[in-house]
Structure formats: C-alpha cells, structure tokens
Amino acid sequence: METTLAGVCALLERHGFKPELVGNAQQAICGVATLEDASDREITFLANPRYERLLATTRAGAVLLGPRVGAPSHLNLVRVSDPYAAITALIIELHGYRKHPPVRLEAGPPSIAPTARIGRNPQVHQGVTISDDVIIGDNAVIYPGCYIGPGCRIGNDLLLYPNVVIYDGTIIGNRVTIHSGTVIGNDGLGFAPIGGKWVKIPQIGIVEIGDDVEIGANCAIDRATLGRTRIGSGTKFSNLIAIGHGAQIGEDCLLVAQVGVAGSATIGRHVTMAGQAGVVGHIRIGDNVTVGAKAGVTTSVPDGETVLGQPAIPIRQMRRQVAYVQRLPELNKLVREQQKRIAELEARLRALESTHQAAPGSNTPAR
C-alpha cells in the first residue's frame, strides 16, 4: 500500500491516535522499516531512547516518535503518545498480515473423516488428516502435514502452519494461530515409581486453549493427567516452549523462547516470562508478574512482582546481590590486606610480650 504522510496521519487517527505532523505532508510512504534500513519512501519509529543516535543518520522518509523527543530538523516527523503502538497499527495498515495461497489438490486431497464437520470457507491443504468427530469453525486455514485427532473442538479462524499435531479431545477457541512443528495434547511426564520401575499413568485429561492465542514453532503443551491443561485467551508463545500436564496459564501472558512450565503450576494473568525461564510444579505465579531471563522460579510469586535469578528472587534483592558480586575482587583484596595487617599486629604483640617477660622485674612467676 502506498500513501502520503498526511495519509499516514489519517490512518493513525482511525486507530485512535492524535498524530502531530511536522514536515512535508505530501511525502510518499510505501512501508515501514527500521531506523537503519528505511529508505526515503518508508516510515520508521523511535520507541527506545537507546537508538536515538540513529536519528542523525536515518534515510527514512519520516520518523514516528514521542511528543518530547528531539530530532534533526531535516526529518519529517509524526509525533504520537505511544510510538510502539502506533507503528504496530501502521505495519498492519501498510503491509497487512501474511496471505495464504489457495489449496492445490493435484497432489491429492486431505484425509477428512466422514464424521468431521468443518465450517464455511475452509482452506485445507493436501496431506492434512482430520479425524472422526472433529468440529472446526469457519475460515480455517490448515497447511500440509497437520493432524487433528478425534473429538477436537476448534473455533473460527483457525490457522495451522505445516506439521502441527493436535491430539484427541483438544479444545481450541477462535482466532488461534499455531506455528509449524508444535504438538498440542501429547502425554505429560506421568510415571509412578512402583517396585523400582516407572509405571506409566494414563493421561486422560485434555488441553483447552482460549481465544486469540498464538503459539510459536516447536512448542509442546501436555494434556492433563486428569482435568485440563489451560492456556488463557490472548496469551502469546514464542518458539520452543514446554507446558507441563495440568498447568494453568492465565489470560494475556507472554512467554518468550525456551520457557518451561512444570505440571500443575498456575500462572496468573498478564505474566511475562523471558527467555529460558523455568517454573517448578505446584506453585502459583501471580497476576502482572515479570520473570527475568534464565530465572528458576521455585516458590510462589505474589502479584505484580518482578523476579530474577536461580532461584528466582525479587529483582531489588537480585540487584543487591549483583552489586555485591561485582565488588568481590575489591572485597577479596581488602580481606587479604586486613589479614596481612592482623598477622603483622599479632607478630608485634608476641614480640612485645616476649620482651616484657624477659625484662628484670617482670611479673613472670618464679619456678
């Protein structure tokens, strides 16, 4: 899509922003790019002050930035209260979402059980298997290699990229996107130690996924041993995430790559978990919690807390620990110096005591 800078402002107004244009309103804009890569026909943005230096060198046709951020006078500017949200709206308007090609049947049709029901306007590619008693809503897009097991219930606007596997009985809401290689509803780690052997416990629960969830590539969400493993509406997963059996993930959470949540853990609403964070089972992480990268959460976390470290502790405590660790070389040197001084003082004290005892008239008792 191509427009002008004035058109960009009109698009932003449609999304509820109040843009202030500074510069050439007729500047042509055909897309969005980074500060480093933008051409004179693209708009870029500044949301993080760390990149403010790039304003001096960007070739962008316009820059979207906050109301009080300084910028070189030669740049066309669009000032808004929230540049990150505004650039998201512009990416959607100017680029749109990924288009899905029409189904090609010359390689053979999908395998759809006669008892399965699929809503209007489906795009089901060859190599897909849809099992008995599956119900799928309208506008489903299912790429080659996907498998949907018996009895699954799936809402409207499903998008499955190639080689997604959904085990039997899974419940999925509306507008859910699942990327390639992800498995939903596989057995959890359910084994009982009996007679020195690990005896498998049948995993007879299911997985339930809410509306507007997006799950990245190569994730695994275990079915519950009993009951349900739940992923709340609006939650977003990156890639390589493992969710254990019976875990409860709240609404609008954000889990970054390589996060692992053990079975029966409960994650509250709007929780952010950074890369490689891990959560043990049977604890609760409260609402609006942030878990830092590589953190190991071993105890429950109250609402609104930010935790970091192994084991994870409140970030204010972790900052103190980091400060102490950074001072260790200095403290080690200080301790060595004090040990040396103490040794010298002890030697002097012994010498004084020896001199005092050897002197005439000392208090040394006669033998």
Write out the catalytic residue numbers.
245
The angle, 0 to 180 degrees and rounded to 10, between the axes of the packed helices 328-358 and 315-326 is 60
DSSP letter string, 75-108:
S-EEE-S-HHHHHHHHHHHHH-SPP-PPP--TT-
How far does Cα 248 stand from its chain's mean position? 16
CA dihedral 88, 89, 91, 96 (to 10 degrees): 130
Residue type, 168: D
- At 291, which helix (H) or strand (E)? strand 290-291
Distance CA 253, CA 238 (A): 11
Distance CA 24, CA 40 (A): 12
Distance CA 130, CA 116 (A): 7
